[in-house]
Structure 1
Amino acid sequence: MLLSLAVMMMQKPVVGATTEALHGAAMQGDTAAIQQLLAAGVDIEARDAQGRTALLRATRANQVAAATLLIEAGADVNAKDNIEDSPYLYAGAQGFNDILRLTLAHGADLQSTNRYGGTALIPAAEKGHPETVQLLLDAGVAVDHVNRLGWTALLEAIVLSQGGPVHQRIVQMLIQGGADVNVADGDGVTPLQHAQRRGYTEIVALLQAAGAR
């Protein structure tokens, strides 16, 4: 893919090669146009009015082929927009695992945080993406990181869920990943207390088996 990009760079410039065109191609997954625009000299890191790069636009649209091309061409997987989303953080939060794997393989900053002060693991747990949770745990994202709301991934998997099978699985994964089941929220309420108050019987059992108080 990089070889084909190099070949394109020896060809004549593309008429109308602009940042807007690159972003549009990224959103649409038009890899041929992306190659041509990069070959014409469009800055791969150029931002739109919201501070988003072409890679973030491709990520938001879950355009895997476009994201792959941009990442292999050197796009920054940690470049944040005006609301502190990056391709890595957004892919993690939305469960876009193909793109997430690419970002993890190309320098994703595991300590980077979103506008809520949370790692990618926290929204992945809250939104119910178990495969994503496991990818991030395996990558080494801190399981007990606390965001600005005072919540860990474990707390969000309880407080912001309906306690169903998917979140039960995520709670188990977090426990197996080393989560401290007794880290309380900013008001001193523990994961076990939150689960008990909501009547999440299965999660209560998981927490108690792990030593929750």
Structure 2
Amino acid sequence: MKKKNKAIGGMIVACLVLGLIIWDRDVSQAEQSFVEKAANNYMSEVQAELSNGMDVEVRGEYGETALIAASYRGHMQLAEFLLRSGADPNATDDNGSTALHGATANGHLEIVKLLLAYHAQPNVADKTDGRYPMIDAAMMGTPEMIQVLAEGGASLNVSTKNGRTALHWAVDNLRTENVRFLVNNGANLRPIDNTGKTALDYAKEKHHDEIIQLLEQ
């Protein structure tokens, strides 16, 4: 019996370390409702909840905070209010994504600027693909988004788990102006991804002459 109890105890400790204890992820109805109100931009209700003692850092069912939810949806005024109320700009959800990931991936430039002003860390990779905000900006965003992130301390040379850099992703998604910005601002042209390909290799595969020229200049 003692051995069995010891084994169970060991399993619990291991689960605690890995964050796998089910009750550690329990979310109350009130907490879930608060995060949903932030996602839906219900400013007055969010303000009232905080005034009544709600913790600004409570989590929704996927580990997202109200700030992450508001930033993902592009609710600028609400995001600013949450930050002024003490929300952590570097909090992560269950996938390791931050508010900056969500704002960048969805093209919310002003929220990206806001988060960086509140010292959001741009060089943070998520737990799934190892994606950084800079990766999302390169593959889906604009040169201005890339520039804002870079000015906020983001590296141009981050890479995902498959070894693709921001430049690889910009090329693969045929974001010519993003490629131009990365090249002109010193992004490394030589990295090889896990398949042994450079950004130039991808450009040649896609027969995109303008991007090829940018990478060969």
TM-score by length of 1: 0.83
How far the C-alpha of 1:71 sits from its partner, in A, is: 0.9
Q: The residue matched to 2:162 in structure 1 has which SS?
A: coil
How far the C-alpha of 1:130 sits from its partner, in A, is: 2.7
Are positions 1:97 and 2:104 aligned together?
no
How far the C-alpha of 1:142 sits from its partner, in A, is: 1.1
| In 2: Cα distance, 1:24 partner to 1:193 partner | 44
Equivalent in the alignment of 1:200 = 208
How far the C-alpha of 1:45 sits from its partner, in A, is: 0.3
Are positions 1:26 and 2:34 aligned together?
no
Equivalent in the alignment of 1:11 = none
How far the C-alpha of 1:134 sits from its partner, in A, is: 1.5
| In 1: Cα distance, 2:85 partner to 2:139 partner | 32
Per-residue CA deviation, residues 128-157 of structure 1 (Å, 9 max, x unaligned), is 333211111222211111220110000011
Equivalent in the alignment of 1:171 = 179
For residue 83 of structure 2, the aligned residue among 71, 85, 90 is 71
Matches within 5 A, 1:8-87: 18-87=30-99
Equivalent in the alignment of 2:5 = none
Equivalent in the alignment of 1:121 = 134
Moved over 6 A (4+): none
Matching residue's letter, 2:122: L
Equivalent in the alignment of 2:199 = 191
How far the C-alpha of 1:66 sits from its partner, in A, is: 0.9
TM-score by length of 2: 0.81
Q: The residue matched to 1:18 in structure 2 has which SS?
A: helix
Per-residue CA deviation, residues 35-54 of structure 1 (Å, 9 max, x unaligned), is 11111000100011111111
Per-residue CA deviation, residues 12-45 of structure 1 (Å, 9 max, x unaligned), is xxxxx93234223212222222211111000100
Contact 1:137/1:177 (<8 A) preserved: no
Q: 1:99 to 1:128 in 2, by over 3 A?
A: closer
Unaligned ranges ≥5, structure 1: 1-16
Matching residue's letter, 1:168: T
Give the CA RMSD over aligned residues: 1.6
Are positions 1:158 and 2:167 aligned together?
no
How far the C-alpha of 1:189 sits from its partner, in A, is: 1.3
| In 1: Cα distance, 2:195 partner to 2:36 partner | 45
Contact 2:73/2:103 (<8 A) preserved: no
| In 2: Cα distance, 1:204 partner to 1:32 partner | 52
